[in-house]
């Protein structure tokens, strides 16, 4: 099949009238001319809309009252299908703080599910968020289950390293540096988050292999006084270190437009990775209740909150909302905004040769966007999994 008459969103520019030819789920040609007229092959007319790489979400808990912690195919399929409507073609199912057995159930279920054909985003693996957090920065995670890393526990997780994409942990905890090294050796990204780290603790974690921070600005330490002196926290360390990739929940609630712009000025377009951190409240109406793990939460003002209103409980966004927001609220170009949702996360997982860009030999994962940046169609491996008209 050939996608013709498309405004191609490439990694560095927009092609005004481009064509993409796919075969067996892969891109075989990208051109700035009408390939269909040359070959006479079946063509889909994109009608002058944008054709962008499919979005990649490294941090996603759920949707439509279904949660990754349910650890079953029905929940996973609901999550993957809903987020495909927002242009996401690949995602990492994300846990919350739980017991070892609960987390292992998610990993094992995801390992099976990612090999099945379904009408939604591909599952890349599992992002383990918790339980190794600071008790000072729990967010919407259960305090009674937060604990320090123990080798005899996390070695059981590392036995399934082939399924784990990243782990979020507080780098200042006793045993955290050894865990970060073990993650690096296992090919898993270590991401600092839910952390009260001082500057030197963040620096030590980076030296041991921490490459990323989780939901920047949220649940992380920032500049404060130590005695008479002001010292940076995890936030400032991440913003100042070029090699740290910063997750950003650009839903307009977790982080204000000014903070989005500040992060962009500090990190540039290649240092930011858009993530939804969407929970089971995604897709629900205002004031509807949902669960994050076993914590009661509510949708209010287009975001998830714990039922008592005391803490944020993930977002209710799809990825296209984040892309629109960084373009409209933070002044980022469309090319850069799309890169934050595609090539940057693909590079983080070492998948940029096959995902995250419209290029020869890459997977035929696409999203068709209207001029006002709404999702019209989503394709996974060249197969349409979402059509706004149906």
Residue 61 within any structural domain of the chain: yes
What are the tens digits of pLDDT across the range 73-105? 999 999 999 999 999 999 999 999 999 999 999
Q: Is the Cα dihedral 334, 281, 115, 274 positive or negative?
A: positive
251 is a catalytic site residue: no
91 within 8 A of 124, measured Cβ to Cβ: yes
Query: In the chain, how many domains are there?
Result: 1
Residue 367 within any structural domain of the chain: no
* Distance (Å, whole) CA 90 – CA 82: 12
Residue 124 within any structural domain of the chain: yes
Domain extent, residue 182, equals: 54-352
Residue from 67, 277, 352, 365 carrying the catalytic annotation: 277
Q: Helix (H, G, I), strand (E, B), or coil: what is residue 178?
A: helix
Residue 370 within any structural domain of the chain: no
Residue 66 within any structural domain of the chain: yes
CATH code of the domain containing 325: 3.20.20.140
What are the tens digits of pLDDT across the range 320-339? 999 999 999 999 999 999 99
Give me the pLDDT at residue 88, please.
Answer: 98
Residue 285 within any structural domain of the chain: yes
Residue 31 burial by Cβ neighbours in a 10 Å radius (0-12, 13-18, 19+):
middle
Q: What residue ranges of the chain have pLDDT lower than 50?
A: none
What are the tens digits of pLDDT across the range 35-69? 776 766 788 999 999 999 999 999 999 999 999 99
Give me the pLDDT at residue 41, please.
Answer: 74
* Distance (Å, whole) CA 97 – CA 13: 41
Residue 301 within any structural domain of the chain: yes
Residue 368 within any structural domain of the chain: no
9 within 8 A of 52, measured Cβ to Cβ: yes
Secondary-structure percent of the chain, ordered helix, strand, coil, rounded to 5: 25, 30, 40
Give me the pLDDT at residue 50, please.
Answer: 98
330 within 8 A of 260, measured Cβ to Cβ: yes
What are the tens digits of pLDDT across the range 365-374? 999 999 999 9
Residue 85 corresponds to which tokens in the numbers above?
């409507």
Give me the pLDDT at residue 35, please.
Answer: 79
């Amino acid at each position: 099949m050939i996608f013709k008459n498309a405004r191609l969103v490439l990694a560095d520019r927009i092609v005004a009238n481009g064509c993409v030819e796919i075969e067996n789920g892969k891109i075989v040609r990208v051109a700035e001319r009408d390939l269909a007229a040359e070959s006479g092959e079946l063509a889909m007319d994109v009608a002058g809309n944008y054709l962008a790489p499919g979005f990649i979400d490294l941090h996603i808990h759920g949707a439509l009252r279904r949660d990754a912690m349910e650890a079953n195919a029905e929940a996973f399929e609901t999550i993957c299908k809903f987020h495909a409507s927002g242009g996401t073609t690949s995602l990492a199912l994300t846990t919350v703080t739980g017991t070892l057995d609960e987390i292992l159930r998610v990993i094992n279920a995801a390992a099976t599910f990612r090999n099945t054909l379904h009408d939604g985003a591909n599952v890349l693996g599992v992002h383990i968020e918790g339980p190794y957090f600071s008790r000072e920065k729990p967010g919407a995670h259960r305090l009674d289950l937060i604990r320090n890393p123990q080798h005899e526990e996390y070695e059981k997780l590392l036995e399934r390293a082939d399924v784990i994409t990243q782990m979020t942990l507080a780098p200042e905890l006793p045993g955290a540096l050894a865990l970060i090294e073990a993650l690096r050796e296992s090919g898993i990204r270590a991401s600092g988050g839910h952390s009260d780290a001082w500057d030197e603790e963040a620096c030590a974690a980076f030296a041991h292999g921490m490459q990323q921070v989780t939901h920047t600005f949220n649940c992380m330490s920032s500049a404060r006084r130590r005695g008479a002196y002001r010292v940076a926290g995890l936030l400032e360390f991440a913003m100042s270190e070029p090699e740290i990739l910063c997750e950003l929940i650009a839903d307009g609630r977790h982080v204000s437009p000014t903070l989005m712009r500040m992060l962009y000025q500090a990190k540039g377009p290649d240092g930011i990775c858009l993530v939804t951190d969407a929970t089971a409240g995604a897709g629900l109406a205002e004031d509807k209740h949902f669960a994050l793990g076993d914590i009661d939460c509510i949708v209010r003002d287009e975001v998830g909150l714990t039922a008592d209103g005391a803490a944020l409980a993930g977002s209710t966004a799809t990825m296209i909302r984040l892309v629109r927001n960084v373009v409209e609220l933070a002044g980022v170009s469309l090319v850069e905004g799309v890169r934050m949702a595609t090539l940057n996360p693909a590079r983080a997982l070492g998948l940029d040769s096959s995902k995250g860009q419209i290029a020869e030999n890459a997977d035929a994962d696409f999203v068709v966007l209207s001029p006002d940046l709404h999702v019209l169609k989503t394709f996974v491996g060249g197969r349409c999994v979402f059509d706004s008209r149906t």
